[in-house]
Structure 1
Amino acid sequence: MPEQGCCDNCAQPLQGAFCHHCGQEKKSYIRNLSGVLTEFFGEFSNWDSRLWRTLLPLWFWPGYLSKRYLNGHRVPYVPPLRLYLFTSVLTFLLFSSLFSNSVVINQPQDAQSVAQQQQVMAEVKQQLVEQGVWQEDHELELFRLPFLTLAQQQAYNEKMQQLANQPKLAINKFFSLAPQMMLLFLPLFALMLKLLYWHSGRFYMEHLIVALHSHSFILHMLAAIVLLQLAADHSSWTLLTTICNKLVWLLLCWIPLYLFLFQKIYYQQGCAKTLLKYVLTITIYNSMVLFGFISLLVLSVLWA
């Protein structure tokens, strides 16, 4: 058995609470229940304080957390990857819950209403056929998606008919896949920043930290916008509705301004150059996200 002043793992003499040879902490995990509970609540309190020290700069001080992290100030704040994963899980759970509960399933209607709807649909279909959007393939009518093969299109149409009475299945599938898709976009966004700021001398990981913090901020703001809009829609107080609507517009304006200031403060370039790179970044990235979400909608229907 190693001595009391030695590491329990490699028996090296200790010079502090951690072994300088293998890194193991000199700490016994076999103790009574009161000790476990005390440590648990102590860790929870510490994490809670780190969370609030992280959220306020994340919301109001563009680029502050990224610069502090890269300058070595890491203990007071939640690590960027953990912050993003925690934010992503909670945000998409919130979206899934709200959108699933807001789905209204069509109730059976009388024959006259059904006939009127069929007439309207026939007129819309005729217009789409004239524009070349709606195609008829023998007995199968297809609302064509250009990136699907005929077999995939048929499977998609069949799934759409099956999900007409159970739309929550597709919504739940969409929000279960969305966090994974967003996680894939993070390294792509960091790569875009690396290419745009090629001569800055920064490593790829520095741009990835920016991507993690900026995406965490966007998800926080989107969650706040959805909750404020929900409060405005369901409030019977005119004053509260007005306040919520104004806050929604304020946040919608704050998101692009924040992201511009983030690039300006973090990369320390002039306003004109930063604005040009900001416009390029937003244009390319939004196009990628739009294509990704359209593909995700199709997959949500096919895999539901």
Structure 2
Amino acid sequence: MIAEFFEGTLHYDTKFLKTLKYLLIRPGLLTEKFNIGQRASYVPPFRLYVFISFLFFFLVAINHNILNLKASNNTKETAAAVRQATAEAIKQEQLNSGSIVRFDPQDSALAVMDTTNGRIGLEFGDTGRANFLENKFSQFLNNSEQSRAKLLKNFSLMMFVLMPFFAYLLYLFYIKQRRNYVEHLMFSIHLHSFIFIVLSIVLLLNYVLPSVDLLGWVFLVILIYTFIALRQVYKRSFWRTFFKMIPIALIYNITLFVFFIGTLFISALL
């Protein structure tokens, strides 16, 4: 079964080794060859991505230092302090605006007396919803192992969704080249495959050198690789590629952050 899996997934002959070599040391070359129809000698992009992402998330899953969701006492104390500070800030803001406010950090109900017209009223927040969210996140944090597994599963799906989004960004920024969207999608798949390989190598190195922080170097390597790949595939000058890469990277990272927060919320709520 193992042999069949690797044979069907990798074609672990010279095809896979050649694909891996070009992916690592020749940025953009695999995408370029795919776009001009030279595909028989290389592993198909989707198959390559599926295997590499499987390897990466497997390494993340067995590394218990990553995504450790168990809330410590310090974390709980900090959260309580933030809630208290928020209550004080709201109270001070309302006092400055001519209102007297009673805010209980443990409840979302606000009692407001407007001193400008003498009217007294109660404004209740959505207490049921607030309690529901608090309970869900409490369960998510306390059920560490199951929560990690759920978050990893949803995160892998999130990255699969982000690939066509990144391809669409490339389509918009290089729309004058009149390339087919699939060509941009192949670039996105190969780039994300490279990123997962680099992160997998870092995870393996952390077992040997746990005290060494490599994240800064990883970020630099990914930026340089992306820049070279863009020049290889889209055939633009150094500066035109550089000034296109900045907004592409900015939009992608903002989207990645938003998607990650959304994935975290979905993982806690489901």
Question: Which bin holds the TM-score, normalised by the shorter protein?
Answer: 0.7 to 0.9
Is 1:71 the equivalent of 2:29? no
Which of 127, 130, 152 is residue 88 of structure 2 equivalent to? 130
Look up the match of 2:54.
89
CA–CA separation in structure 1 for the residues paired with 2:68 and 2:9:
37
Alignment map for 1:230-269 (pairs within 5 Å): 230-233=207-210, 249-269=216-236
Look up the match of 2:63.
98
Is 1:301 the equivalent of 2:259? no
Q: What is the CA-CA distance between 1:131 and the residue it aligns to? A: 4.2
Is 1:49 the equivalent of 2:7? no
Name the count of aligned residue pairs.
Answer: 241
Q: Structure 1 stretch 203-212 or stretch 166-175: which is displaced more?
A: 166-175
- Tell me: CA distance 1:183–1:103, structure 2 relative to 1, closer, same or farther (3 Å): closer
TM-score, normalised by the number of residues in structure 1:
0.68
Look up the match of 1:174.
151
Q: What is the CA-CA distance between 1:94 and the residue it aligns to? A: 1.9
Structure 1 SS opposite 2:222 = helix
Q: What is the CA-CA distance between 1:78 and the residue it aligns to? A: 0.8
TM-score, normalised by the number of residues in structure 2:
0.76
- Tell me: CA distance 1:267–1:155, structure 2 relative to 1, closer, same or farther (3 Å): same
Structure 1 SS opposite 2:38 = coil
Look up the match of 1:31.
none
Deviations 1:177-232 (A, max 9, x none): 11211111111111111110011121111111101101111111112222223321
- Tell me: CA distance 1:128–1:276, structure 2 relative to 1, closer, same or farther (3 Å): same
Q: Structure 1 stretch 162-171 or stretch 272-281: which is displaced more?
A: 162-171
Say if 1:218 and 1:255, in contact at 8 Å, map to a contact too.
yes
- Tell me: CA distance 1:83–1:151, structure 2 relative to 1, closer, same or farther (3 Å): farther
CA–CA separation in structure 2 for the residues paired with 1:129 and 1:288:
31
CA–CA separation in structure 1 for the residues paired with 2:9 and 2:269:
41
CA–CA separation in structure 2 for the residues paired with 1:173 and 1:39:
28
Structure 2 SS opposite 1:96 = helix
Structure 2 SS opposite 1:99 = coil
Structure 1 SS opposite 2:63 = helix
Structure 2 SS opposite 1:264 = helix
- Sequence identity, in percent? 29
CA–CA separation in structure 1 for the residues paired with 2:174 and 2:46:
22
Q: What is the CA-CA distance between 1:43 and the residue it aligns to? A: 7.1
- Code of the residue aligned with 1:62 in structure 2: it is P
Is 1:203 the equivalent of 2:195? no
Higher relative CO (CA 8 A, sep ≥ 6), structure 1 or 2? 2
Look up the match of 2:116.
none
Name stretches of at least 5 consecutive residues in structure 1 with no aligned partner: 1-37, 108-113, 143-148, 234-240
CA–CA separation in structure 2 for the residues paired with 1:39 and 1:95:
25
Larger Rg: 1
- Code of the residue aligned with 2:269 in structure 1: it is L
